[in-house]
Each structure stands twice: as C-alpha cells, then as structure tokens.
C-alpha cells in the first residue's frame, strides 16, 4: 500500500500538530511549508473560500495565544515579521484545504497529514484505555494489599534511637 516514498517525513508532520484550545491543529505557516506554497498564498486561497472553513475547521489565534506560542518556539526567526496571529486548522480544516489548494502535492501531503492525525488519535485512545485499566487495578488491589504496604513501610522506617538528654541534670554527678 505505502510503497511510494513519502513526500514529507511523518515525524515532521507529527511535530507540527499542536494542541490549542483542546484541539489538535496545525499552523498556517507549517501547512504552507508542507504544501510548498507561501503562507500568504495559503491564506488568500482560504479567504477566497471562507464558507468552506467554519470555526471548527479553522480559527485565528488571539494575540495572547500567539504570544504564548512565540515564547515556546525555539527560535523567534521562525515567525519572521508577522503582523497578525496565525490561523490554525483542525483535522477537518486540513481536509478542506485539499479542495482549495488543487495541486497534486497538496493532495498527497493532505493524505499524509490525515494519516498522522489518525495515528495520534489511536495513540491517545490506547493511552486512555491503559490509564483506565491501571486505575481499575489500583482500586481492586489497594484494599487487599494495604496491610502489606503498611508492613513494608514500617520495615523501611529507621529505628528510633534512644538518646541521652544533652546537658547536666542535678544528681548526675
């Protein structure tokens, strides 16, 4: 199935997926780079087709969110002289971009991005399932092994040494 060489390394795509407002999103600049277009070209294409991008597909960061994102970035040169906060695209917004950017590269990159979103979703689901199983085991065995844990703690505690009081007392002569 995946015999063709990937246009973009999977790790690069996964690194570009961020969690903002409790949603997995990608920045306009990262998407433009992946698609091989300038950011302004991507935004122009989106603005010509705004009806395809409701707020659950795409939104613009607030100045505060943008400042936080900038402060977390390794190099500030990544942001250039940007005058406005970036737009971010959810998984559905990325899918919609393929209908706006009609190049064959955009289609191939979209497929790879969608696969990355799906892999992340599966990983998150498996982690949640594992955490639930661990919680269930803790609850199940906590009561049964409380006595054992208490005994182990007592064995681990250092013995209290009997100390002689410091100083002289009347009659110790």
Q: Is 57 exposed, middle or buried (0-12, 13-18, 19+ CB in 10 A)?
A: middle
**Is 140 within the bounds of a domain?**
no
Question: E strands of the chain, at which residues?
Answer: 17-20, 23-27, 58-60, 87-90
Angle between helices 39-48 and 91-100 (to 10 degrees): 90
Establish if 139 belongs to a structural domain. no
pTM: 0.60
Q: Is the pLDDT of residue 148 over 60?
A: no
Q: How many structural domains compose the chain?
A: 1
State which residues form the domain around 69. Answer: 10-128
Q: Is residue 14 part of a domain?
A: yes
Residue 136: inside a domain, yes or no? no
Average pLDDT over residues 55-68: 92
CA distance to 19, 76, 77, per residue, from 70 (Å): 14, 7, 10
Is 154 within the bounds of a domain?
A: no
**Residue 84 is assigned to a structural domain of this protein:** yes
Q: Which of 97, 125, 113, 86 is nearest to 16 (CA)?
A: 113
d(CA 25, CA 23): 6
107 pLDDT band (50/70/90 cuts)?
A: confident
Residue 158 counted as domain residue: no
Q: For residue 86, which of 173, 164, 158, 20 has the smallest C-alpha distance? A: 20
Between 82 and 6, residue with greater pLDDT: 82
pLDDT per position as a tens digit, 21-35: 988 899 999 999 888
* pLDDT at position 142 over 80: no
pLDDT of residue 167: 66
Q: Mean pLDDT across the stretch 156-167? A: 64
Look up residue 71 and give its two tokens. Answer: 């402060």
DSSP calls for 103-141: SHHHHHHHHHHHHHHHHHHHHHHHHHHHHHHHHHHHHHH
Task: Please give the average per-residue pLDDT across 79-104, as a whole number.
Answer: 82
Q: Does residue 34 fall inside a structural domain?
A: yes
């Amino acid at each position: 199935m995946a015999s063709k060489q990937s246009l973009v390394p999977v790790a690069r795509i996964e690194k570009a997926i961020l969690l903002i407002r409790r949603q997995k999103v990608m920045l306009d600049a990262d998407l433009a780079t992946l698609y091989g277009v300038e950011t302004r070209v991507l935004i122009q294409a989106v603005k010509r087709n705004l009806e395809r991008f409701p707020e659950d597909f795409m939104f613009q960061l607030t100045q505060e969110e943008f400042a936080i994102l900038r402060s977390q970035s390794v190099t500030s040169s990544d942001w250039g002289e940007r005058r406005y906060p970036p737009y971010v695209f959810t998984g559905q917004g990325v899918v919609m971009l393929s209908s706006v950017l009609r190049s064959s590269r955009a289609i191939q990159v979209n497929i790879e991005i969608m696969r990355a979103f799906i892999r992340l979703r599966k990983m998150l689901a498996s982690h949640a399932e594992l955490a639930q199983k661990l919680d269930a085991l803790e609850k199940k065995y906590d009561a049964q092994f409380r006595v054992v844990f208490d005994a182990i703690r007592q064995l681990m505690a250092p013995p209290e040494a009997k100390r002689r009081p410091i100083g002289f007392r009347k009659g110790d002569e």
